[in-house]
Structure 1
């Protein structure tokens, strides 16, 4: 994709989000289980759209990355998404788009095997790409968009 096309895409996305944000139906959905020092909301509900912050494989009981390497983190990441949705009375069936970030693109096949345990056909739209690094040295991060 050309840099100018990418800039146009970002501007269009920003305008759509801005249109939602200027309306009175924007809600910032958080629970007390979110660490108070993190500068983001779990979910922002704008009209009938849910924007979820990216999730990594942090075990909520230990506050550390899940054991088990990539598979352990990937499973915990999707569990965290599911738990966050359920805390706000939504479910995985509300998800229409996922963006998957992997520190090793060779984990793509292993991620798909875990992903299909949490989503069923027809699957949400999805993008996946390799990144150099993620927060807390996580191996995978997933952010989602939902519809209600």
Structure 2
């Protein structure tokens, strides 16, 4: 396995803690959990679940692209929802980003440290170097 590369892309949200937005480890790219942070202002952009999911997945997409991969390279996603009742509405937006690609996924309802936030998504992509 090759070197571990920590990825801090421009035009993406600043990490809210001591972590890397993404790490390439060999052929895998691990993207840290992303939330509805507007990259232009680097502040949270709260709204309904579809609004927050779209912003979150656009952040994931930007980070993946900075790592040299695409949404089609994603093999696993974890979706965290503040309210499990938001599943269907979140899924509509999720489908826009992944279409028939359909990576594996786990979706759970959680309590966030930020009680206003509705969604967080992380993923793992695979692309041989």
* TM-score under structure 2 length normalisation: 0.87
Q: Which has the higher strand share?
A: 2
Aligned to 2:92: 113
- Long gaps (5+) in structure 1: 1-22
CA displacement 1:57-80 (0-9 Å, x = unmatched):
101112222253221111100010
* 2:69 maps to which of 70, 78, 90: 90
The Cα shift of 1:49 comes to 0.9
SS in 2 for 1:76: helix
- Long gaps (5+) in structure 2: none
Structure 2 Cα separation of the partners of residues 131 and 83 of structure 1: 25
The Cα shift of 1:55 comes to 0.3
Flag the structure with larger Rg.
1
Structure 1 Cα separation of the partners of residues 100 and 66 of structure 2: 24
Are the structure 2 counterparts of residues 57 and 37 from structure 1 closer, same or farther at C-alpha, using a change threshold of 3 Å? closer
Cα-Cα RMSD: 1.9
Q: Which has the higher helix share?
A: 1
How many residue pairs were aligned?
A: 126
* TM-score under structure 1 length normalisation: 0.77
The Cα shift of 1:136 comes to 6.7
